[in-house]
Amino acid sequence: MKSIISTLVILLLISCTAKSPVETKQDKRVTDQKSLAVASIYRRNFPQALEDIEAAEKLDRKDPEIPLIKGLIFFGLKDYSEAERYFKRSLKLKSDYSEAGYNLCVIYLKTDRLDQAIEQCSLASSDILYRSRDKAFTTLGVAYFKKGDLDRAKEYYEKALEINPAFVYTHNELGKLYLAEGEYQLAAEEFKKAVFGYELYDEAIYNLGIAYLKLGMTGEACQSFKRVVEISSSSEYGLDASSYVSSLCN
């Protein structure tokens, strides 16, 4: 199963289908090629997406959305250095481009450059016109959590949930924070909210199983672990859940 984290954190936060008031034939060709590239990314056909976006790049080398899309393609290919290079190129073309800044933040988080991640996500989250501030606040929280600053992490998770109370990724991350604090009942409640919002969220279901174990609720934990194995047997969480099922569950 494809991880929800990649789906939720690295987002196609672009407006490539938007049209300018006076659109030339070349503008339309660029827009069409960007749309094709985005469609290919959603299908995870990254070679085709790269071909589509390079066709757009030949037509317009000053459009900041083009390197943004190219960076997303390389992120999908797990080539984080190339993804970083294109997100930076996008920001060079448009210094206040929060979509590019946010995705650069995620690259920094992915590669454990936490201070740089905090810098970029702080800029994105402070942009009141940025439509995904909830995601920027959540990623800020994750960066602070990794630094061991649980109070700051919780502060940003709560800000994210003020904007989007249904954001399952934030509920899962807040649950992990409560686990770290030993607040197992609160952790379980957050994981339940995440699973309620997305019933195939393998990590949240697995984490719910861990919370149940901490609470001494072995039967409920087994149900969670069995569910993870059912929906995501070959994933990291599925393999770990399978071990718990073998050792704990009938």
For 111-146, the pLDDT digits (tens) are 999 999 999 999 999 999 999 999 999 999 999 999
Distances (CA, A) of 121 to 9, 33, 61, 242: 12, 29, 26, 36
- Identify whether residues 217 and 239 lie together within a single domain: yes
- Identify whether residues 2 and 88 lie together within a single domain: yes
- Identify whether residues 148 and 193 lie together within a single domain: no
> Considering the chain, what is the average pLDDT of its residues?
91
Assess if residue 90 is contained within a domain.
yes
Assess if residue 158 is contained within a domain.
no
- Identify whether residues 125 and 88 lie together within a single domain: no
In the chain, % helix, strand, coil (3-state, to 5) comes to: 75, 0, 25
pLDDT at 217 over 70: yes
Show the CA angle centred on residue 53, arms to residues 51 and 58, nearest 5°.
95
Assess if residue 74 is contained within a domain.
yes
pLDDT at 180 over 70: yes
- Identify whether residues 68 and 117 lie together within a single domain: no
pLDDT at 183 over 90: yes
Assess if residue 54 is contained within a domain.
yes
- Identify whether residues 178 and 243 lie together within a single domain: yes
CATH number, domain containing residue 102: 1.25.40.10
Residue 178, C-beta contacts closer than 8 angstroms, at least 6 positions apart: 184, 186, 187, 190
- Identify whether residues 12 and 78 lie together within a single domain: yes
Assess if residue 127 is contained within a domain.
yes
pLDDT at 49 over 70: yes
Burial per residue of 25-53, b for 16 or more beta-carbon CB atoms within 10 angstroms, e otherwise: eeeeebbebbbbbbebbeeebbebbbebb
Q: Which residues constitute the domain of residue 132?
A: 96-153
Confidence (pTM): 0.88
Q: Count of domains in the chain? A: 3
Least Cα distance to 131 among 21, 7, 15 occurs for 15
- Identify whether residues 1 and 90 lie together within a single domain: yes
- Identify whether residues 236 and 184 lie together within a single domain: yes
Assess if residue 209 is contained within a domain.
yes
Assess if residue 186 is contained within a domain.
yes
Assess if residue 63 is contained within a domain.
yes
